[in-house]
Structure 1
């Protein structure tokens, strides 16, 4: 067996993490009172409209998620203050810790029973957002082109304004489209699985994050 091409492996790992973002955002919006746990742009908009009293939108959830995401990203930034040339044990530890938190949240959702109360929703949203902030910082450190794992607007802009303008097969079938498809399919998967129980998509997110950490540690370190 030959060693896989490192850039391709890194791309696959970040694509999985992008899929995870879609899954947990579906859980957050549908199961945690319309809170985005991965895409913070949505939270800023919801928070602003909620403060304006529009449509009884939540304020506490988006505000806590924004703060938790920033804390997670900051903590990961300190760990990765001296960026490794490629994958390092610190990246494995960060993703592994995130996977453990998601697994713990899965168990908490199972045990909570009534998951549609603020006492459950806000802490779960905060912990998930912290994991996503940490994951976003890992993605920045890996610096896989067009794969930020949490940002779709700029990716869509680049796809429409750059890729499509150039034309050819690569104008459509490229990693920009792949990133958008990954988060789209993740959100769709999360929306389907949450009908069973919110713990099911959260458990899937934990398993996929574990797999991404293991694959990166083995193949990219």
Structure 2
């Protein structure tokens, strides 16, 4: 009797570990496929990020994995947290430049805390707008409209060359709540007393899209 019970227990344990090994192998294979897919796209397209790249990037992703996915862009640079301090928040910032877009990522040396992807003209970069009727939207082809209702904050930034806006919205996603920001260039003087209102931005094109664990991080993307 004891031998039967022991054999059953051994069988259960063996089955558990066998299933675990199969699961880990499948996950590793999926990650390798994703990495190869993106890198092949970058190489074959002469330093173009694939249009669906945002499907592979997420808050909390390990920076080593990000570097593996991105490979070698045309140009990149990094600023560490000893140089970046905005609104009492320190962070690191990595910037990557491709022929069809630029990608900026803030991180804590280990994990992604926010990212922003800016599309260049006619690049057709896809993104998903949470809580909307749009399955896929194209940066640079989509304008501010009535779907921008639950706005958390509208930010305004400018330098000696240009001015731009950011519309921050707050949604739940994958068990967490993140801030989403939709950026665009300001081509007209619609700022009143240093502030922007959402109604003044109607029909302005969205050319960049970002996600963050803290809305203050979006200002880093604007400054650099």
TM superposition score normalised by structure 1: 0.26
TM-score by length of 2: 0.26
> Relative contact order (C-alpha < 8 Å, sep 6+): which is higher?
1
More strand by share: 2
Question: Which protein shows a greater Rg?
Answer: 2
Identify, as 1 or 2, the structure richer in helix.
1
